[in-house]
Amino acid sequence: MELLKQRILKDGIVIGKDVLKVDSFLNHCIDVSLSLEMGKEFKRLFSNCTVNKILTVEASGIGLACSTAQFFNCNVVYAKKSATRNCTDDAYTSPCHSFTHGNDNILRVSKRYLGKGDKVLIVDDFLANGCAVNALTDIVKQAGAEVVGVAIAIEKGFQGGGDALRSQGIKVESLAIIDEMNEQGIRFRD
C-alpha cells in the first residue's frame, strides 16, 4: 500500500537493523484516516473471505483492528497479555514471545467471545518472527474456529515470520513488507 509506505519513509524511525518506530501514526498516536484506509484495503484483500470476528493482541493492534472491523461489519476480540482480577480461568491461552518488548506473555481470550464456527481474521500492526500470530492461531484452533487470514500493516520480511506462515498455507496480506532497513534507509519488497 503506497500510502503506508510513504508514511513509513516520512515519519518512521529506524533503530538499528530490526526496530522500526512508527508510534507517531500507527500504534501510540493513531492517524485515524490512515488507519481507515488500511482497514478498507484489508477488506479488499480479503473480500472473498467470510469474516465474523477480528482477532488481535492488546494494545497496539486494537486501533487497526477496529478500523478494519468497520468494513467487515463485525466485532473485534483482543487477546489480553496478562490475567486480571476480573478475568476468569474460562479462557483459551497460548504462550507468546514479544519481539518488541523482549518478554514472554500468555495470551488469553475469553471463551465467551470466540467459538466453534467463527471465521476469524487476525489483524496486527507488525509481523516480525510470527510468534504473536502463531499464538493467536493456536487460540482460534482451541476455540474450534477457523483462521481465514492474517492482515498485517507492516511485515519485517527479513525476520521470516510471514514467509513461515505462508508456507503453512495461511493467507497473509501485509500492506508494507520491509526486506531491509537501517539508519540510511528502508528497502520494501515489491
Phi and psi for 116 in degrees, rounded to 5?
Answer: -55, 130
* 48: containing domain: 2-188
Which letter does DSSP use for residue 80 in this model? B
Which CATH number characterizes residue 151's domain? 3.40.50.2020
The number of distinct structural domains making up the chain is 1
Look at residues 2, 75, 64, 3 and name the one whose alpha carbon lies nearest to residue 32. 64
Distances (CA, A) of 144 to 35, 92, 122, 147, 171: 30, 11, 15, 10, 19
Is the Cβ–Cβ distance between 165 and 172 less than 8 Å? yes
pTM of the model: 0.95
pLDDT tens for the 190 residues of the chain, in order: 999 999 999 999 999 999 999 999 998 999 999 999 999 999 999 999 999 999 999 988 999 999 999 999 999 999 998 776 666 679 999 999 876 677 888 999 999 999 999 999 999 999 999 999 999 999 999 999 999 999 999 999 999 999 999 999 999 999 999 999 998 999 999 8
